């Protein structure tokens, strides 16, 4: 309505037409889902956490119990590791796929996404059979005459890392693949013609054009891992707890207000991390990096 107020009468009709036909309106169905399935439940969770229980008590409990602070720290640590490793693997993978012929590309992309047709639970348990003591990995070690690993990658942070990287790889590889596809192959070629070494080509051309996508992939994997429950609870075991697992336990114990306080803490710390990350990126851009 504010848009209609100022311009002379001749433009009003046009402005209104633009207003009505604006593509932003296509977002309305999504907005409805967003409100119903995310915003409203989030507010309800806040209500449960703040009004149904004793907030002061619950927050004190959160801060005073070493378990929660430690698990929150570990949750961020694991999410960070998973995001770093996933992007580090997805980056060369995406570069590799994007340079194949169209037919091979299609095949490789299908292979990348086939695992996603299997449920997360099944995939976590597949890793259990591989990683656990006397599992597939130990069998292979035995065949090669190596000492058994005895579950060195099972029921600990390493187990979560392996399971989550496997789960997240397609999500990181896809935006990176898109970035490499968008990259005009003439650009590095031109740089090479002008005498740039491969390292310099990457540093000046390929890197700057693909790193924003790598950053996006990193954030995507990082956030998803922070809140994940199934894979960490199956592969992390009782010693490598992540916060999502503790939230679920509190809910099973019928302590919803405390589960809410834990969830809000995770959400808030995630938001703070994202803001810090954004500030850091802006600072890097200002000095010419990225």
Site for another protein, rule CB under 8 A? 1-4, 15, 18-19, 22, 24-25, 27-28, 31-32, 34-36, 39-40, 43, 65-67, 70-71, 132-134, 155, 233-234, 237-241, 246, 249-256, 258
Nearer to another protein, 21 or 103 (CB): 21
Nearer to another protein, 63 or 111 (CB): 63
Distance of closest approach, residue 34 Cβ to another protein, in angstroms: 8
Residue 194 DSSP symbol: T
Nearer to another protein, 39 or 190 (CB): 39
Find how far residue 95's CA is from the centre of its chain: 20
Distance of closest approach, residue 49 Cβ to another protein, in angstroms: 14
Would you state the structure tokens that stand for residue 138, as one six-digit string? 């130990």
Distance of closest approach, residue 7 Cβ to another protein, in angstroms: 10
Distance of closest approach, residue 6 Cβ to another protein, in angstroms: 11
Check if the beta carbon of residue 168 is closer than 8 Å to that of residue 225.
Answer: yes
The distance in angstroms from the start CA to the end CA of the chain is 40
Nearer to another protein, 1 or 194 (CB): 1
| CA dist., res. 167 & res. 255, Å (int) | 30
Count Cβ neighbours within 10 Å for each residue of 125-157 and write b for 16 or more, e otherwise.
Answer: eebbebbbeebebbeeeeeeeeeebebebbbbb
Nearer to another protein, 92 or 133 (CB): 133
């Amino acid at each position: 309505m504010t848009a209609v107020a100022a311009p002379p009468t001749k433009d009003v009709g046009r402005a209104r037409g633009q207003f009505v036909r604006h593509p932003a309106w296509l977002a309305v169905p999504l907005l409805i889902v967003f409100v119903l399935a995310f915003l409203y439940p989030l507010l309800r969770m806040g209500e449960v956490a703040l009004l149904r229980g004793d907030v002061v008590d619950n927050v004190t409990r959160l801060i005073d119990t070493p378990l929660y602070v430690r698990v929150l720290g570990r949750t961020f640590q694991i999410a960070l590791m998973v995001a770093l490793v996933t992007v580090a693997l997805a980056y060369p993978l995406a570069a590799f796929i994007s340079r194949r012929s169209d037919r091979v590309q299609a095949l490789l992309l299908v292979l990348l996404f086939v695992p996603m047709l299997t449920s997360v639970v099944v995939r976590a348990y597949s890793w259990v059979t591989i990683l656990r003591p006397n599992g597939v990995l130990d069998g292979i070690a035995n065949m090669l005459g190596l000492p058994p690993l005895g579950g060195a990658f099972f029921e600990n942070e390493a187990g979560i890392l392996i399971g989550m990287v496997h789960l997240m790889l397609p999500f990181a590889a896809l935006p990176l693949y898109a970035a490499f596809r968008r990259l005009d192959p003439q650009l590095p070629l031109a740089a090479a013609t002008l005498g740039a070494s491969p390292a310099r080509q990457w540093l000046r051309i390929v890197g700057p054009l693909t790193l924003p996508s790598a950053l996006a992939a990193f954030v995507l994997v990082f956030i998803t891992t922070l809140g994940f429950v199934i894979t960490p609870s199956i592969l992390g075991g009782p010693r490598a707890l992540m916060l999502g697992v503790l939230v679920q336990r509190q809910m099973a114990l019928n302590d919803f207000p405390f589960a809410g306080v834990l969830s809000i803490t995770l959400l808030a710390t995630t938001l703070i991390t994202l803001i810090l990350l954004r500030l850091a990126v802006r600072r890097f851009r200002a000095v010419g990096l990225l």
